[in-house]
Amino acid sequence: MKHFSILLILFCQVSVVIAQQLPELPQLYDKDFLTPQFHAGRRAALRELMPANTAVVVFANPERNRNNDTDFQYAQNPNFYYLTGYPEPNALLVITKDEVSAGTQKGTEFFFAQERDLRRESVTGRRLGKEGVTQELKIKNANLGKDFANFPLDFSRFDSVFYVLPEGVVNGRDPRNTAELYDLIEQVKAKTKNQKVLPRTFVSMMAQLRQQKLPEEMVLLRRAIDITGQGHREVMKFMDPEITEYQAQAVMEYTFKSYGSEYVGYGSIAGGAENSCILHYITNRRTLVDGDLFLTDCGAEYHGYTADITRTLPVNGKFSPEQKAIYELVLAAQEAGFAACQPNKPYRQVHQAAFKVVQEGLIRLGIATDSLTTRKYFMHGTAHSLGLDVHDAMVRTNDKNPAMGPLMLPNFVTTVEPGIYIPANSPCDPKWWNIGVRIEDDVLVTETGHEVLSLGSPRTVADIEQLMSEKSDFKKPPRRP
C-alpha cells in the first residue's frame, strides 16, 4: 500500500509537470469541420420552430465506460453536435425563443461547458473551456457547468421547456458515468419541476431540421460515402478463400482510417455463408471457404456523418448460378427502389416497389408462393434515413395526409437496401440454402428526382467479378491456425 501511495503521488506530480508543458495547440487539426456559422444558423432555425415563450435544453452525451477505468472513444449527442459543434461531454445548451436576461448575460443562448483541468488534459486531451466555446465556437454566453445550479435564469417564466435526456440515460444517477452530467440533469429537473416538459416536441423539431441536409452537411456525408466505397473496393480485391471474416473487416476499417474517417458509423457486419443470412451479424470470426457468399455492411463516419453501404461477394470471385440468380433479383429490386425515390412522394413507396420485385422473383424461382412466404426471406424494410445517425432523425408523420405516411423531401438522404436471406433448412430446394444477399446504397432525393451517391463501389455481377480479379495491395495474412 505504501508503494502504491508513493507511485500515485509521483504520477500526480508528473501529470502536473506534463500539463504545464502542453502547448496551446488547436483542438481540431482538420480544417473541414462544420463552421460556427453553420451551427449558429441551426440554432436560429430551431428558434423559428419553437412556440412563443418556451425554452430548449440540450445535453451533451455522457462518457461510456467500456471496462474498469477504460472508456469508449467519446461520441457526441448528434443533436448537441448539430447545434453547437462542441466535441466534449459534461455540457448543456439552453436556447430561448426570445431574448432574456440572466444576471449580467443577455441573449437567446446560454452554454455550459466542462471546466479546464490541466492534469486531466495531460492524460485525455485538451478541453475548450468556456473561453474556447466563445473563441472557437463563437457562442457568446459561455459558462461552466458547475455554475448552472446558481445561474440566474428563471425557468418559471416559460410556458414550456423542451428537453430529452441523452440516449441510454435513465432518470436518476448512473454510477457508471461521471457525476458532472448527472448533476446537470438533476439541476435541470429541479429548475423545471413546475413547468410543462415536452420531450416529443423537441424530437419533432430536431427531426424537421435534420431530415433535409444543407450543402455543408452534404460535403461531409459525400466524403463518408466515398471513403466507404473505397473500403468496399479494397475488400473486393482482397477477398480470397481461407481468409477470415475479421481479416476482411480489417481491410475495410484500415481503409476507412487511412482516408481520414474517425470512427465506423456502426459495428461492421462481415458475414460469410450461413452468417450472410443474419441481418446484423458482427461476430466476424468465421474462416471463409471456396463457394461462400460474403456479405459486408459497413460505413465510415467522417466528422460526425456516417455512410451505410452493403455489398455481397462470391468468395472465390465468381457467382454460382444460384448465387447470381438471387443477386440479380435483389439488384433489380434495388433499381425499383431507386426509381421510387422522388421528392414529395410517400417514403413507404420505396419498400413497396422493392418488395414487389422480390416477391415476383421468388415466386418465379419456386422459393416463395405469396407475400407471406416472401417475408420469410425479405423480413426488413428497404430504406432508412441517413446522416449524423446511421438511422437518422426524420419526421415520421404526415399531418396533412396521415394515411400517406411521411414524405421524401428534397435534400433528404436515404438508404435503399433490399435483401434476400435463405438460411439452411428453409422450405425450399437446398441449392438455395445459405445464400444471403443485400445490396445497399445511399441516395439523395433532389428537387427533380434522386442521385445515387455510392456508385463508386461496383454493384453489378460483371463489375464485381472484374474488380475481384485485380490484385490487392494488401498482403494476404497467414492462414488461421
DSSP H stretches of helix in 178-301: 179-191, 199-210, 215-238, 245-258
- Distance CA(305)–CA(263), nearest Å, equals 10
The reply to whether 384 belongs to the active site is yes
Of the residues 63, 417, 441, 442, only one is catalytic, namely 417
Please state, as a whole number, how many other Cβ atoms lie within 10 Å of the Cβ of residue 69. 6
Residue 391 grid coordinates: 438511422
Instruction: Name the residue with cell 416463395.
Output: 368
Instruction: Name the residue with cell 445550479.
Output: 149
The reply to whether 441 belongs to the active site is no
Torsion over CA: 420, 424, 430, 435 (sign): positive
Of the residues 157, 176, 280, 285, only one is catalytic, namely 280
Of the residues 109, 226, 253, 297, only one is catalytic, namely 297
Beta sheet of 441-445, edge-to-edge order: 413-416, 441-445, 450-452
The reply to whether 186 belongs to the active site is no
The reply to whether 429 belongs to the active site is no
Residue 279 grid coordinates: 441481418
CA 324 centroid distance within chain:
31
The reply to whether 335 belongs to the active site is no
Please state, as a whole number, how many other Cβ atoms lie within 10 Å of the Cβ of residue 449. 13
Q: What are phi and psi of 394, to 5 degrees?
A: -160, 155
The reply to whether 421 belongs to the active site is yes
The reply to whether 280 belongs to the active site is yes
Radius of gyration in angstroms for the set of CA atoms belonging to the chain, rounded to a whole number: 25
For residues 122 and 80, is the Cβ–Cβ distance under 8 A? no
Beta sheet of 92-102, edge-to-edge order: 142-144, 105-113, 92-102, 54-59, 160-162, 196-197
Of the residues 24, 48, 69, 99, only one is catalytic, namely 69
The three-state (H, E, C) secondary structure of 120-178, written as one string? HHHHHCCCCHHHHHHHHCCCCCEEEHHHHHHCCCCHHHCCEEECCCCCCCCCCCCCCCC
Of the residues 440, 441, 442, 450, only one is catalytic, namely 440
Of the residues 157, 176, 285, 391, only one is catalytic, namely 391
Pairing of strands 413-416, 419-422: unpaired
Of the residues 42, 303, 438, 450, only one is catalytic, namely 438
The reply to whether 391 belongs to the active site is yes
DSSP state of 378: S
The reply to whether 117 belongs to the active site is no
For residues 315 and 290, is the Cβ–Cβ distance under 8 A? yes
Of the residues 384, 441, 442, 459, only one is catalytic, namely 384
- Distance CA(378)–CA(419), nearest Å, equals 6
Helix (H) or strand (E) holding 327: helix 321-339
Task: Kindly list the catalytic residues.
Answer: 69, 280, 297, 308, 380, 384, 391, 417, 421, 438, 440
